[in-house]
A and B are shown apart, each in its own frame.
Chain A
């Protein structure tokens, strides 16, 4: 499997914040959701991979080229939507489009014009007069109209209303389906990523907690209702993330790496499995972070 983004042993420090031993691989053509609470290091990782920050050590390869050595070549093939609007607010929408277009040889004016229409942007309006939603749409438009092989989106829909969010994500998915581009989308909005991503990476406190296909992530984390549970779980074929006591000697276990044949484990320890409950991504995400922050033996 080839990787659009390959980060190895990355270290970075700024003040008290630190990224440690970050290793991350984004498969080419995937929609990779980069999850993490605020302040976990998502934006820093994005900025490192685009050469906006310099790591202390480690290697970053994006689209087969090395960061920071080949950064102009990488940026020419990458659409970037940063966390905060970064455009020149004194320009009008039309001027911003013209300015941006001259830097990208793959710029597609036809599609840019189409997106201006479908996003309902007024070309004569100054960027400083745009609403947050309009600015979000413009940022996405600029990233898409350059026809990138890789889209790096840092909280692209944060603070946008549901209608704008839907428009922006629809344009993104439309592009991905046409171009088979790789999308790296950082967000703390778990449900949003659950709907669109096929890979997920979870960051917390400057470290990558998990990286796996979305389906494995969603399917592998379960909540189990166990009657007569053993005092010590012993050698389980799955990872026990959390145990909570219930009524009448039953417990609720949150586990990772669950597969149906593993129910035999409970027969072996004299317990019985009453129920297997699917967790949605957000619950799985919360449990994962909880385990990471309070590791159990």
Chain B
């Protein structure tokens, strides 16, 4: 049963997975181009770290984008059929949802693996100056975890009705609007920083997305 669910999900998301895998492989490779060649005179560790850090912003964005796309394709065909097919299959709903979730996770292994290979390749080919080290495994592990967290969140949101997704978006939009309105009338409310801190700082659920995503670090 899981194999067929995985197959359908693969069929629906293969056009997304292919560029996702390429992007995940290419990102670490491109990010070390700044390191230069061994003949280059005088390593500028600070400049390298700064450049690698700039590239680092792309990792959580890529993880979020891939996870969102895969989550949407996981439920898209069911949404189009108003979930009648899935609900008329003789499996408990939680079981079906779990298998769809699991299938998405299995598919996400491909970009995670691509990033790990790309990072490992980049780490071995780049001439890293003394004092700096490459962390391909740590970066790949972090990317994998970010994929899983983002996928879980988007999977849950897209599994619901359009109304549910609307509520989530309206809540986020409302927070932003309140913050903008408060700032425009001179009221000191730190609603947006408060919410983002709770979400992005430990023990917030999205802590994995914050901080430094560095393939090369001290």
> What 1/0 mask marks residues of chain B from 189 to 215 whose CB sits below 8 Å from any chain A CB?
000000000000000000000000000
Q: Are B91 and A103 in contact (CB under 8 A)?
A: yes
- B8 near A104: Cβ-Cβ < 8 Å: no
Neighbour of A75 across the interface among B11, B80, B89, CB < 8 A: B89
Q: A90-B11, A102-B1, A102-B4 are in contact. Are A50 and B88 (CB under 8 A)?
A: yes
A75, B8: Cβ atoms under 8 Å? no
Convert A80-99 into 0s and 1s, putting 1 for each residue whose CB lies closer than 8 angstroms to a CB of B: 10101111111100010011
Verify if A52 is at the interface (C-beta below 8 Å from B). Answer: yes
Q: Assign chain B's interface to a size class.
A: 10 to 19
Closest to A76 in B: B90
Q: Provide the bound-state CA to CA distance between A103 and B1, in Å.
A: 7
Interface size on A, residues (CB 8 A): 24
A72 and B8 contact, CB distance less than 8 A: no
Cβ-defined partner of A52 (8 Å) among B7, B84, B90, B92:
B84
> Are B90 and A75 touching (Cβ within 8 A)?
yes
Cβ contacts under 8 Å, B60 to chain A:
none
Q: Is A13 interfacial (CB-CB < 8 Å)?
A: no
Interchain CB contact under 8 A, B4 and A86: no
* Distance between A55 CB and nearest chain B CB, rounded to angstroms: 15
**A196 vs B89: C-alpha distance when bound (angstroms):** 27
Q: Name the 3 nearest CB pairs between A and B, nearest first.
A: A76-B90, A75-B90, A86-B84
On B, residues with C-beta under 8 Å from A are 1, 3-4, 7-8, 11-12, 77, 80-82, 84-85, 87-92
Write 11 A-B pairs (CB below 8 A) sorted by A numbering: A52-B87, A52-B88, A72-B90, A75-B89, A80-B88, A86-B82, A86-B84, A90-B12, A95-B8, A102-B3, A103-B1
